[in-house]
Chains A and B, each alone.
Chain A
């Protein structure tokens, strides 16, 4: 009699990597504790992927939590994301690659605590993604802190006397909350409490993926899952706890199922081709001409400060843009209060021959102070050997500093005499370029042409620049 023939019915799913490369002695094993529900959920997800024949299309988003290493196991597209952000990243992936099947795998700390905003809005927008929500009622990875899903009375490291509803609120029923929204097409809660429940979980996961494949919109399966380690139970006891206790708190079943009647969502509009983007954003992509002069070792740290409305930010922008056009490395960082006019504002500008490390200017070598409070506030920060231009008749008695050149000129009044006090900032720019000539006039003029919108103001600013420059040159020649 011939040997009876047996064929493999159930084994390691095809979309798992043949070997896991995280650690040499864990190449055949997951990193999960014995009896952990993540392993079972992985197997169910893997089988559904294989059965639906979508391995080549799946992009799996790994969360933060015990399942952070998901990407070591699944031979699919993988992205690992910041805590709680999985469904937001899944949204982006799906919109950028509508043909992909995007699965956001998240724990209950990840999804129901730090990521509660992301999941709510992804569901409400009906994003065509599938979320596998593994609810073990605890933060596993970090050692057992209370999650929003923790049962009332459960002792955790953050509820040592047991979860108390008056202090900690009630277990959050994510599936029910999300089912109150219009967006989702499929939501079901399942459990891993015995093989029968596990087989039902498998069906639900498959259905959720089918909803996405059909383009019906947001689908989610909440999996009540054992965490024997943190629950301090052996695996069989933890499984019983899921079956008997968790399912009492969290009723099983489909909460939303529109698979039969929902119409596919329209595909997102195709994005514009990459080449089009600079034009759409009105960005000038012409390469800036190489610097005519070689400003080897230039390292200007400029602080410009004044009242809102004095053109402080525009002045900084002009310097930065002219520098950029001249082939320098530049940065411009505005800093202002919520008010549009009055209030104070300042900006940080860096001009350098080498790449700028930080846009912050804490120790300026140039201070442009449009008013006295700004002079007083920032003068102590100016580096030795620095230059300070102050918008005033004279430097206040107590604002002289050895080793720092502080010059007062009535920039606003000078501007007023040629047309408008508002051009005081440009008069100041002219003076700066006379005393510290690091940028060619034509680059400043180019930046002015770009940033000043009306012809009248452009003419006034050109005159203001010349006025400031000449006045400062005259001052220098008197000194000389």
Chain B
């Protein structure tokens, strides 16, 4: 029997966090209903545990962006239609 690989599910969004600007407040983690963000175990140069994206599963809703107090810590990207 021939099997066809299901096309990889493409995420609707992506999030980029600058680990040196992030202050590790965790508000983005709290905001994300899909639980794709977490605070890292590592620390950045200011001694904060920066937020990290697990790498997949983001839908681009941008709620994390609005929760984040740092203007340049977190960016949300959307899949081109």
CA distance A4 to B70 in the complex (A): 28
Number of A-B contacts (CB under 8 A): 103
Minimum Cβ distance to chain A for residue B75 (Å): 4
> Which A residues contact B (CB, under 8 angstroms)?
4-13, 16, 28-30, 32-40, 42-44, 46, 73, 194-195, 198-199, 202, 228, 234-236, 239
CA distance A235 to B70 in the complex (A): 13
User: What are the 8 tightest A-B residue pairs by CB atom distance, in nearest-first order?
Assistant: A39-B69, A35-B25, A6-B77, A34-B25, A34-B23, A195-B63, A235-B25, A10-B65
Question: A28–B67 contact, CB under 8 A?
Answer: no
Question: B30–A30 contact, CB under 8 A?
Answer: no
Question: A6-B14, A34-B24, A43-B71 are contacts. A198–B66 as well, Cβ < 8 Å?
Answer: yes
Question: A6–B71 contact, CB under 8 A?
Answer: no
| Contact of A13 (CB < 8 Å), options: B23, B62, B64, B71 | B71
* Residue B48, interface by CB 8 Å: yes
Question: B66–A9 contact, CB under 8 A?
Answer: no
Chain B residues with a Cβ closer than 8 Å to the other chain, count:
34
* Residue B57, interface by CB 8 Å: no
Question: A34-B23, A239-B30 are contacts. A29–B77 as well, Cβ < 8 Å?
Answer: no
Give the residues in chain A near B27, CB-CB below 8 Å: 35, 235-236, 239
Other A-B pairs, 20, CB within 8 Å; known A12-B72, A12-B75: A4-B10, A4-B11, A7-B77, A7-B78, A9-B13, A9-B60, A10-B66, A10-B76, A11-B76, A13-B71, A16-B71, A16-B72, A28-B21, A34-B25, A34-B69, A35-B69, A40-B67, A40-B68, A228-B25, A236-B25
Give the residues in chain A near B79, CB-CB below 8 Å: 4-6
Minimum Cβ distance to chain A for residue B67 (Å): 5
Q: List 30 A-B contacts (CB under 8 A).
A: A4-B10, A4-B80, A5-B79, A6-B78, A9-B76, A9-B77, A10-B75, A10-B76, A11-B76, A12-B72, A12-B75, A16-B72, A28-B18, A28-B20, A29-B21, A30-B70, A32-B69, A33-B23, A35-B27, A38-B69, A40-B66, A43-B66, A43-B71, A73-B71, A195-B31, A195-B67, A198-B66, A235-B27, A236-B26, A239-B30
